Amino acid sequence: MCSKLTDYDITTHIDLRHGYVEGMGQLCFSCYTGSSRNSISVDERTIMDTPNDMELGSKIRRVFYESRGIPMPKDPKWEKIFTR
Ligand SMILES: [Zn+2]
């Protein structure tokens, strides 16, 4: 994004690089970890113990809100769709 050169060689496989974003290419550490690209960790157990993708999505969202220390908002629009 800032066009700064990174330590990665163009021949290094993207799976072995940090900060490679499909469709955008290699980002430098600063662009990759900037405020719009924060990351959270989800423990493997949560993923393995939750076969339902939608339920997993909701658990990940909860982890996100908990990590930010803000209460998870209830989205009435979605509730309406599923209770119809
Ligand atoms: Zn950059």
- Summarised one tens digit per residue, pLDDT across range 35-72 is 666 778 889 999 999 999 999 999 998 888 888 888 87
Read off the pTM: 0.47
34 alpha carbon – ligand 1 mean position (Å) = 9
Residues 31 and 48 in one domain: no
Please compute, for residue 23, the number of CA atoms within 13 A of its CA located in the half-sphere on the CB side.
0
Q: Is the domain of 32 the same as that of 52?
A: no
Å from CA of 82 to ligand 1 middle: 42
Per the structure, the count of domains in the chain is: 2
Question: How is residue 71 annotated by DSSP?
Answer: P
Selected residue with higher pLDDT from 56 and 74: 56
Q: Which range of residues forms the domain containing residue 57?
A: 44-82
CB 30 within 8 A of CB 18: no
DSSP state for residue 76 in the 8-state scheme:
H
Nearest to 19 by CA among 7, 5, 29: 29
Residue 78 C-alpha to ligand 1 middle, in angstroms? 37
**1 and 33 both lie in a single domain:** yes
Asked if residue 78 and residue 53 are part of one domain, the reply reads yes
**Domain match, 49 and 32 both:** no
